[in-house]
Amino acid sequence: MAPDNDVFGRALLDWAMGGTSPEVLEREDGFTQVGAGPDVYLSGFKGWPTAERKSIRYMHGRVMDIGCGAGRVALELQNRGLEVVGLDASPLATKAAKIRGVNEVWSMSIEDPDWRIETFDSLVLFGNNFGIFETPTRARQLLIRLAKGTKPGARIFAESTSAYCGGAPAFDRSYYHMNKARGLSPGQVKLRYHYGHLVGPWFNWLYVSRSEMRSILVGTGWHLERALGTHPSEPYVAILAKDSI
């Protein structure tokens, strides 16, 4: 990712060095929303969503924190004695994670073929990072690849938020109906970041309900072992286990 396009990475790096100004999310239809800022993206364990806190107990072995940002998850797992590697496509985010104390961080995409997926037992996608998959079709393609590359017994801890219940960031009922009219997945959204005078490139993000998650998983080599979460409007963590061969 080119530094000029790495707007959210710039925000993370500033926050890691004490900055407090939040990011702003702009949706393709002009809707804007002030983002969560450092209070969320640098949060300690007690400030995490309930589902994330509960799911920690199920993680084991070597952990890949995918879309690690400034390292809030990697740091917590590292402090609990787990071997953790942070992965982020943003060079500035990986720099922020290292500044904050994450021992090992790789600056590359989830699609990069060189990140040695077979060495990990737990793959973590917190912070609604199931959205990294962008669309249901791309999610299936990447999940199939992850199933082929991971070791037996590997698990994915994928967080998302239902687009139907009012809790998904930068999402509302009008956009949900617009997606349905366009024949898109209801929880698919096109966004870009603003931070100070910087404006980033457009990117796609995906929110899915639990039932949509189950539909996406069919035929990918993964199944929903359990879903952790309380209120429908809050983020949930889907623990995905590999299908038996």
The Cα 104–Cα 119 span in angstroms is 14
For the question of whether the overall pTM of this predicted structure is more than 0.85, the answer is yes
Q: Is the dihedral of CA 225, 116, 7, 135 positive or negative?
A: negative
* CA-to-CA separations, 132 to 16, 45, 100, 155, 232, in angstroms, rounded: 22, 22, 23, 17, 21
16-20, 171-175, 235-239, range with the lowest pLDDT: 171-175
Task: Give the angle subtended at the CA of 237 by the CAs of 231 and 242, to the nearest 5°.
Answer: 140
The Cα 165–Cα 161 span in angstroms is 9
Structurally, how many domains does the chain consist of? 1
At 56, which CATH number? 3.40.50.150
- Within 8 A by CB and 6+ apart from 113, the residues are none
What is the domain range of residue 167? 3-14+22-242
Residue 4 banded pLDDT, cuts 50, 70, 90: low
Is the pLDDT assigned to residue 245 strictly greater than 70?
no
Q: Is the dihedral of CA 48, 50, 52, 55 positive or negative?
A: positive
Condensed to tens digits (0 to 9), the pLDDT of residues 167-224 reads 888 888 889 889 989 999 989 999 999 999 999 999 999 999 999 999 999 999 999 9
Q: What is the mean pLDDT of the chain?
A: 94
Residue 113 banded pLDDT, cuts 50, 70, 90: low
pLDDT at 134: 96
